[in-house]
Amino acid sequence: MTTTSDVATTRTEPGRPAIRTGLAVLAVLFGAAAALGQSTPFAEPPPRLGLARSQLSLGNLMSLIQSRHIKLWYAGQARNWALVHYELDHISADLTDSALFYTMIPVELVNATGKPLAAMREAAERDDVATFNAGYMGLTEACNGCHQAGNVGFVRIQTPIASPFTDQDLTGRQNR
């Protein structure tokens, strides 16, 4: 099995200064797993990072991705393709960071997100909600497959049923 340390990947996105705030707020979502002492083989930070465990834990990165996953759904349903592209860029960068920082994650699991992410990008270009939805389901399945392999299958991602982002217009109406 190939690990992410065997893959040369570069990040194409500049740093995000607000990542600490977002991670801190969203970290609560995955705190229960740590409290239960679950064995999560992918989640041990490499010592070379020199970061406190809470600064860049895999759970924190996944919470950030989960937040973007929710926004992605609502943006796609509203045909807010600019926001779809924005969230896809960030999800891709965050998944890359996860794979680079946590090299025990098998590459196959990270790569499983590639086709769904590409399908959603293409759907956004064609204003195709049905193809977007199929890509979104593929991304969700890839996330759940990785969680299962990482012994955190109880973290089951689904299509959102209510947006927690009541302070953000995800429709993009102001830009139309």
**Residue 133 counted as domain residue:** yes
Q: What is the pLDDT of residue 165?
A: 87
HSE (side-chain half, CA atoms, 13 Å) at 55: 7
In contact, 112 and 99? CB cutoff 8 Å: no
Q: What is the DSSP string of the chain?
A: --BGGGS-----S---TTHHHHHHHHGGGGHHHHHTT---TT-PPPGGG---TTTS-HHHHHHHHHHHHHHHHHHHHTT-HHHHHHHHHHHHHHHHHHHHH-TTSBHHHHHTTHHHHHHHHHHHHHT-HHHHHHHHHHHHHHHHHHHHHTT-TTS-----SS-S-TTS--S-GGG-
Q: What is the pLDDT of residue 48?
A: 57
Nearest Cα neighbor of 138 from 107, 122, 115 is: 115
| CATH number for the domain harbouring residue 99 | 1.20.120
**Residue 125 counted as domain residue:** yes
**Residue 2 counted as domain residue:** no
**Residue 172 counted as domain residue:** no
What value does the mean pLDDT take over residues 136-159? 95
With a cut of 80, say whether residue 127 has pLDDT above it: yes
**Residue 12 counted as domain residue:** no
**Residue 119 counted as domain residue:** yes
With a cut of 90, say whether residue 24 has pLDDT above it: no
Query: Average pLDDT, whole number, for the chain?
Result: 77
Q: What is the pLDDT of residues 35-68, one digit of tens each?
A: 334 455 665 555 555 555 446 788 889 999 999 9
**Residue 126 counted as domain residue:** yes
Number of domains the chain is built from = 1
With a cut of 60, say whether residue 11 has pLDDT above it: no
**Residue 176 counted as domain residue:** no
pTM of the model: 0.70
Of the two residues 71 and 32, the one the predictor is more confident about is: 71
Provide the domain limits for residue 100.
Answer: 56-156
Q: What is the pLDDT of residue 167?
A: 86
